[in-house]
Amino acid sequence: MIILQQNNVPNAFQRNRFTAHMSDSCGNVFVYGTLMSSMVFGALISRTPKCFPGLLYGFRRHAIEGRPYPGITEDDNSSVSGLLVTGLSGEELDVLDFFEDEEYERRKVQVHNAAFVSMGMQMKSRYYRHRAAAADV
């Protein structure tokens, strides 16, 4: 993980390297570890975005050897609780990509929330998958 300082914000080349595969404008991210902290978000993007409790079916949270933060991996018999962070701009998503570094990749997912489920809805979102953990499981 990288602690961002004002001069560590990724330049356009770095941002394109991380986000070229994210062609649609979904500004939602499902978080399940360090990024659940409003203090961490505030330090990264200088504001606290709107968040809702979320549940990700078909995944499980697990420890990553030698790391103080978790990863998640696909598991049809499990679910992961976390937060659905909404309304993020493209620049804010770029900052989160830079924070997560190349150790994680942002992937598409459907997140469930009690209020959304009662209306028969799911929210399109992204989550960060730990690359090494996904390969090891």
The residues that are catalytic are: 100
Q: Residue 112 has what DSSP assignment? A: B
| Rounded Cα distance, 32 and 71, in Å | 8
Q: Residue 2: CB partners within 8 Å, gap ≥ 6?
A: 8, 98, 99, 101
> Which bin fits 66, alpha (ψ -120 to 50), beta or left (φ > 0)?
left
